[in-house]
Amino acid sequence: MQAENVIKEKHAGDIEQLKFIFSDENRIIVTAPAGCGKTTAMVSKIARELSNGHILSNKKILAMTFSVNAAMKIKDSLKALLPELVENIQKYLAKVDVANYHNFAMRILFKHGYCLNGEFTHLSDFKIVDEDSPLLNTFITSADSDKLKKVNDAVKASNKEELIAALDDYWDILNRKLITNHVITYNGILISAIKLLRETQISSFYKQYYQMIIIDEFQDTNLLGYLLIKKLIGNNMIIFLGDDVQKIYGFLGAVNGIFNLIIETYPVIEIKFCNNYRFRENNRMKALDLFIRDCVENFQPSNLKASVLVKNLQSDHEEDDFIVKGIEKIVSTKEDKVAVLVRAGWQGNSVAQILDQKGILYFNALFKETDPEYISFYNIALEEFHNNVLGKAVQRNLKNCLLAVDARRNEIYQQESKKYIFESMYKLLEILFVESKKVSGTSRDKYDYIDFILGNKGLKHMMEFVDEQVVLTTIHAAKGLEWEYVIIPRLNGFAFPSSHMCRSCKEANSCNEGFDYCKFTYAQSLKKAFKEELSILYVGITRAKKNVFFTVNTGANKWNHSKTTSCLLNLEGLILEDYEWENAI
Ligand SMILES: Nc1ncnc2c1ncn2[C@@H]1O[C@H](COP(=O)(O)OP(=O)(O)OP(=O)(O)O)[C@@H](O)[C@H]1O
């Protein structure tokens, strides 16, 4: 009872949040714009179900998300809240499993995989690769390779019919030629788990074991993730959380309109949060938030109005200098943090160079997840973690692990220009080891925490804890994080939106181009691409607690034509205001 009162107090005044937390419905969809308390309410919901004894002693809660970072955030927040509600929080924390889709599928394969193929008993030795890995050529023919790629393409295009039609061939090749040789693909992990869950005995077990399943960031789920989740829906409580407007992984196959798919398939209640806490006292940001959402949701010129701060400069160089001046001004406040968030990593490199020249400290996370240095850092870190960290002396062994990774830095980068990837990742690894000390429980719990983050490429989660006041990263990597100020550069056509969208837009004639601006005309064929670009912009904007600043340059490009201002800024109803750092910070 006391726990319920604490939760009620915490959410007092927010009817929708309270309705969700205290609902006993079995199927709930919660949609919420950024900053409306989705994560906060989800953690309270889990805490409520745990503390009132709804979750039986032999049952658990599964908190699942698309990214490992989002999954970790749930557990971290739960750890902070539970002590206010109950004693012996260990007992309660142990009842919550967090996972991303791959991680969860791996757990199922470790447990039951032998039912599909005996080689799954050696799963910890398996190499996990993509469909285009050269390693596969050792085991499969090029015709096989095409069949595997068909599934990957269908997942990325979110094409259910093509996926279903290609699945049997995929499984056959995976089973006979890859699993046998201790190799599996990322898609293969999900496909194998789905296959196992087709066994009624296994799926019934999980449907009962997980008395409550919460799926966060549901808008980013791809078809295989969706098929996996469907196999876990029984009489248990299932909660889908997310925000369609924050769907930024369309290129990985995030299913369009996935919340509607659930509404059409299952009886559910839908709760929408609408109190924006992040921008509660910031009318400009609140209006901008509503405006962009309106354009994404309705895909037509908005009747709303909003204003943004946009600095128009004449060259990349001028633009970079201007950004660095802003960074210097913000850093001089000593308290506030600022992130330069780019649409694509390379767009931040020239700002990084000036910061280097000026000796301004910053954290550089401009690398891509596909950078070979990024991938090999994880491989080596995981290998050295397993080599060095054994037994009970986890903390002492972590130091040895760091030394061992450092000793292999030359294996990770060959070019001086890629050295920063090692240095940034190494810093995140150090932070992970420090954070792991705060993980309550046994040495084994700390070990599993680190193993989970490294195994799931989740070091970016640690970006939240870096000391530097300045962070350079991509909008995709910034999801779920926040800073006082955000600067978004290069609001030019062919930069943001991406050149991919701009090319299609030109071909479809959906772009009214002036000599230095682009205006989008809402052609239906561009709907998916345009909505995704605006969603990326939305995620970037909503990372700012105080203010967001845009820069653009309409100087000459290399063919001596004026560059265009992005169509994302030339939206009907959006007022562009010039600014100077002196008055804006
Ligand atoms: N009921 C509430 N009363 C007061 N503050 C709240 C409430 N709910 C959430 N907040 C605060 O609002 C801010 C945003 O909340 P939260 O991070 O849960 O939102 P979110 O919807 O998950 O955001 P995002 O999607 O951007 O990650 C946090 O600082 C949180 O403490």
pLDDT tens digits, one per residue of 86-115: 777 878 888 998 888 988 999 999 999 999
In the chain, the percentage of residues whose pLDDT exceeds 90 is 71
Total residues belonging to the chain = 585
In angstroms, the Cα distances linking 446 to 75, 238, 463 are: 13, 29, 19
Q: Where are the domains of the chain?
A: 1-99+200-272, 104-196, 283-362+469-577, 372-465
Output 499 or 392, whichever has higher pLDDT.
Answer: 499
Q: What is the pLDDT of residue 394?
A: 65
Question: Quick one: pLDDT at residue 80?
Answer: 83
- Looking at the predicted structure, is the pLDDT value of residue 85 above 90? no
DSSP label at 67? S
Which strand (E) or helix (H) includes residue 487? Answer: strand 483-488
**Residue whose C-alpha is closest to residue 176's, from 117, 93, 88:** 117
Q: Tell me which CATH homologous superfamily contains domain 283-362+469-577.
A: P-loop containing nucleotide triphosphate hydrolases (3.40.50.300)
- Mean pLDDT is lowest, of 147-156, 434-443, 448-457, 517-526, for 434-443
CA angle, 451 then 395 then 431, to 5°:
65
For residue 348, which of 474, 462, 461 has the smallest C-alpha distance?
474
Among the atoms of ligand 1, which is closest to the Cα of residue 13? 1
- How many CB atoms are closer than 10 A to CB 262? 21
Question: Any idea which residue has 């509607």 for tokens?
Answer: 260
* pLDDT exceeds 70 at position 1: no
* Under 8 Å between Cβ of 74 and 481: no
Which residue's CA is the closest to the ligand 1 atom numbered 8?
37
Instruction: Calculate the CA 111 to chain-centre distance.
Output: 27
* CA nearest ligand 1 atom 16, residue: 37
Between CA 78 and CA 329 the distance in angstroms is 36
Q: Where are the alpha helices (DSSP H) in 231-282?
A: 258-265
Q: Which helix (H) or strand (E) holds 585?
A: none
Tokens representing residue 206 in the block: 């999980």
Mean pLDDT of the chain: 92
| Mean pLDDT of all residues in 183-204 | 96
Query: By percentage, how much of the chain surpasses pLDDT 70?
Result: 98
C-alpha distances out from residue 76 to 18, 69, 92, 213, Å: 21, 10, 13, 18
pLDDT grade, residue 312 (50/70/90)? very high
**Residue position matching structure tokens 């179900």:** 49
DSSP strand pairing (237-242 vs 269-272): unpaired
Measured from the Cβ of residue 502, the count of other Cβ atoms closer than 10 Å reads 23
Residue 313 CA, distance from chain mean position: 32
Q: Which of 10, 239, 277 to mutate to test the pocket of ligand 1 (most atoms within 8 A of CB)?
A: 277
Digit-coded pLDDT (tens) for 34-76: 999 998 999 999 999 998 888 888 999 999 887 766 777 787 7
Residue nearest to atom 24 of ligand 1 (CA): 34
Identify residue 211 by its one-letter amino acid code: Q
Pocket test for ligand 1, best of 20, 39, 486 (most atoms within 8 A of CB): 39
CA 575 to chain centre: 30
352 CA to centre of own chain: 24
pLDDT given for residue 391 in this prediction: 59
Alpha carbons 472 and 342: distance in angstroms, whole number: 8
Mean pLDDT of 379-403: 84
Could you tell me the distance, in angstroms and rounded to a whole number, from the CA of residue 34 to the centre of ligand 1? 8
Ligand 1 contacts (CB < 6 A) are 11, 14, 17, 32, 34-40, 277-278, 480, 542
- Is 517 a residue whose pLDDT tops 90? no
CA of 90 to the centre of ligand 1 (A): 25
pLDDT over 90 (residue 370): no
Q: Separation of 343 CA from ligand 1 center, angstroms?
A: 25
What's the sign of the alpha-carbon dihedral 112, 114, 115, 116? positive
Task: For ligand 1, atom 5, name the residue with the nearest CA.
Answer: 277
Q: In the predicted model, is pLDDT for residue 393 greater than 70? A: no
What pLDDT does residue 182 have? 97
> CA–CA separation, 578 vs 575, rounded Å?
10
Query: How far, in Å, CA of 446 to CA of 436, rounded?
Result: 6
User: Are 567 and 550 a contacting pair, CB within 8 Å?
Assistant: no
What residue owns the CA closest to ligand 1's atom 18?
Answer: 37
Q: In a 3-state reduction of DSSP, which class is residue 503?
A: helix
CA of 339 to the centre of ligand 1 (A): 20
Distance from residue 283's CA to the centre of ligand 1 (Å): 17
Domain covering 1-99+200-272 in this structure, CATH number = 3.40.50.300
Tokens describing residue 49:
């179900």
Q: By the 8 A CB rule, do 325 and 581 touch?
A: yes
Question: Quick check: 469 pLDDT over 70?
Answer: yes
| Residue to mutate (ligand 1; options 17, 22, 36, 48; most atoms within 8 A of CB) | 36
**Which has the higher per-residue pLDDT, 140 or 100?**
140
Separation of alpha carbons 34 and 474, rounded Å: 18
Classify strands 338-342 and 210-216 as parallel, antiparallel or unpaired: unpaired
pLDDT digits (tens, 9 = 90+) for 227-242: 999 999 999 999 999 9
Looking at residues 172-198, what average pLDDT do you find? 97
Which SS3 state, helix, strand or coil, does residue 216 take?
A: strand
CA of 480 to the centre of ligand 1 (A): 11
Q: Round to whole Å and give the CA distance between 162 and 166.
A: 6
Ligand 1, atom 25, lies closest to the CA of 34
Is pLDDT of 189 > 80? yes
- What order of strands is seen across the sheet that includes strand 470-474? 363-365, 470-474, 338-342, 483-488, 544-553, 306-313, 574-577
List the structure tokens of 478.
């910034």
The span from the CA of 38 to the CA of 36, in Å, is: 6
C-alpha to C-alpha distance for 485 and 25, rounded to whole angstroms:
39
The H or E element spanning position 95 is none
Q: What is the pTM of this model?
A: 0.91
> What one-letter code names the amino acid at 322?
F
Kindly tell me if the per-residue pLDDT of 172 is higher than 80: yes
Which of 16-25, 484-493, 499-508, 533-542 is predicted least confidently?
Answer: 499-508
Kindly state the tokens that stand for 171.
């499984």
Residue with the smallest CA separation from ligand 1 atom 9 is 37
Of 30, 108, 13, residue with least CA distance to 62: 108
* d(C-alpha 388, C-alpha 397), whole Å: 6
Q: Which residues are annotated as a binding site for ATP?
A: 32-39
Do 283-362+469-577 and 1-99+200-272 fall under one CATH topology?
yes
β-pair partners for 379? none
* Higher per-residue confidence, 18 vs 413: 18
Q: Which atom of ligand 1 is nearest to the CA of 43?
A: 18
What pLDDT was estimated at residue 77?
83
Q: What is the pLDDT of residue 431?
A: 94
- 579 Cα: distance to centroid of ligand 1 (angstroms): 29
CA of 285 to the centre of ligand 1 (A): 15
Q: Look at residue 392 in the predicted model and tell me its pLDDT.
A: 59
Q: What is the mean pLDDT of residues 508-531?
A: 87
